[in-house]
């Protein structure tokens, strides 16, 4: 199974040619969260497209947002004796047992995107992801600047118990804590979906007499912000003009909203990250050298005036 892993692309190509099949390829199981929002399917597509380029046979399992499904998928990967397991965990808790099972089976586990909370960090090799806390800080810093440090904020949280919801909130709060006139006045989960964001914003609009006194909206992802924008427009409000709007992901639909002036800023979360993830996994399978527990993918904030590349 592991004969020619990471021999360099020329040698790998030759090995493929000689064997005439992908039987020697590395097999990796990837347990993905689901397909909520626009960012996640883009990430899945990238992981699926990059795998064959690296000589990887990818077993892809979509958990449809359910941790039980992820646990089942990981156990199936263990039974199939894959070479490595990649997990984008829905929530941070509940991983100790299944990760211990993978360790006992001698199958290395790599976390991507979201994080887990386990007491024993040797249960996974490394995590490759953006820094969600920093994303929250970038969003908070932008809003502090844009509002001159004075803003009542409504917050749309991501999936309860997920690493990005926890960390984006923490990072954002750490920044606004420096400004006595900035505070979160309402906060609720919209589960990272457009519909969720729309529903929560509709409720906020009702309970605050059309967002009276509110100056800003922080959404933990763009899809919830796009839903919030719809709800605000339907109520005759002007997001992006009368309300400062900041979120995370920088998906194509948000780029359009920024250009149209319906939103103001978004922190980019890169989705084409298979090219960072797979080489790390393949190198580890080859040399088993311990890695840092976190390999960070950079984040940056964009506005209509400072678009990304
Ligand atoms: O921001 C959101 C997705 O886990 C960081 O999950 C990721 C988040 C991303 O649903 O759009």
* Residue 24: per-residue pLDDT: 67
Mean pLDDT of the chain: 93
Q: Ligand 1 pocket check: which of 41, 156, 158, 189 to mutate, most ligand atoms within 8 Å of Cβ?
A: 158
Length of the chain as a residue count? 309
- Are domains 2-131+270-301 and 132-268 of this chain identical in fold? yes
What CA–CA distance (Å, rounded) separates 158 from 193?
Answer: 8
In this prediction, residue 64 has a pLDDT band, given cuts at 50, 70 and 90, of very high
* CB of 268 sitting under 6 A from ligand 1: no
- Paired tokens of 270: 């890169």
pLDDT tens readout for residues 126-153: 999 999 999 999 999 999 999 999 999 9
Enter the DSSP assignment of 305: S
How do strand 294-297 and strand 244-249 relate by DSSP bridges? unpaired
164 lines ligand 1 (CB under 6 A): yes
CA distance linking residue 47 with residue 283, whole number of Å: 17
pLDDT at residue 7 is higher than 50: no
Q: What count of other Cβ atoms lies within 10 Å of the Cβ of residue 16?
A: 16
**pLDDT confidence of 9, banded at 50, 70, 90?**
very low
Once rounded to an integer, what is the mean pLDDT over residues 170-181? 98
Q: Residue 25 — very low, low, confident or very high, per pLDDT cuts 50/70/90?
A: confident
- Given phi > 0 = left and psi -120 to 50 = alpha, else beta, which region is 42? alpha
Higher pLDDT, 30 or 7: 30
pTM: 0.92
Q: Where are the domains of the chain?
A: 2-131+270-301, 132-268
Both structure tokens of 15: 């090995």
Fold of the domain spanning 2-131+270-301? Rossmann fold (3.40.50)
Residue 15's pLDDT is 40
pLDDT tens digits for range 291-303:
999 999 999 999 9
Q: Is the CB of 40 under 6 A from ligand 1?
A: yes
pLDDT per position as a tens digit, 33-58: 999 999 999 999 999 999 999 999 99
Give the lowest-confidence range in 5-9, 11-15, 91-95, 303-307.
Answer: 5-9
Structural tokens at position 142: 């932008």
DSSP3 helix / strand / coil % (the chain, rounded to 5): 40, 20, 35
CATH number for domain 132-268, candidates 3.30.479.30, 3.40.47.10, 3.40.50.2300, 3.30.70.1350: 3.40.50.2300
How far is residue 168's CA from residue 57's CA, in Å, rounded to a whole number?
34
């Amino acid at each position: 199974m592991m004969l020619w892993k990471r021999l360099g692309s020329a040698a790998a190509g030759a090995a493929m040619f000689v064997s005439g099949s992908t039987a020697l390829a590395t097999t990796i199981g990837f347990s993905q969260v689901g397909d909520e929002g626009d960012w996640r399917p883009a990430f899945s597509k990238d992981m699926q497209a990059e795998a064959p380029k690296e000589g990887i046979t990818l077993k892809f399992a979509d958990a449809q947002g359910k941790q039980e499904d992820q646990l089942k998928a990981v156990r199936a990967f263990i039974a199939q004796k894959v070479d490595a397991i990649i997990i984008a965990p829905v929530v941070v808790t509940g991983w100790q047992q299944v990760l211990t099972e993978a360790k006992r089976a001698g199958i290395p586990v790599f976390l991507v995107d979201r994080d887990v909370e386990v007491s024993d960090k040797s249960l996974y090799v490394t995590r490759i992801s953006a820094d969600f806390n920093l994303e929250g800080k970038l969003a908070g810093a932008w809003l502090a600047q844009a509002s001159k440090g004075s803003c009542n904020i409504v917050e749309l949280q991501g999936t309860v118990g997920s690493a990005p919801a926890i960390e984006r909130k923490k990072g954002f709060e750490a920044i606004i804590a420096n400004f006595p006139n900035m505070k979160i006045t309402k906060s609720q989960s919209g589960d990272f979906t457009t519909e969720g964001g729309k529903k929560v914003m509709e409720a906020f609009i009702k309970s605050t007499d059309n967002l009276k006194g509110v100056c800003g909206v922080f959404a933990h992802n763009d899809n919830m912000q796009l839903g919030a924008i719809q709800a605000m427009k339907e109520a005759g409000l002007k997001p992006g003009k009368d309300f400062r709007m900041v979120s995370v992901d920088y998906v194509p639909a948000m780029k359009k909203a920024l250009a149209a002036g319906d939103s103001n800023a978004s922190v980019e979360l890169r989705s084409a990250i298979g090219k960072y993830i797979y080489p790390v996994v393949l190198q580890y399978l080859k040399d088993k050298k311990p890695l840092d527990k976190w390999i960070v993918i950079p984040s940056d904030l964009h506005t209509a005036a400072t678009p990304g590349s």
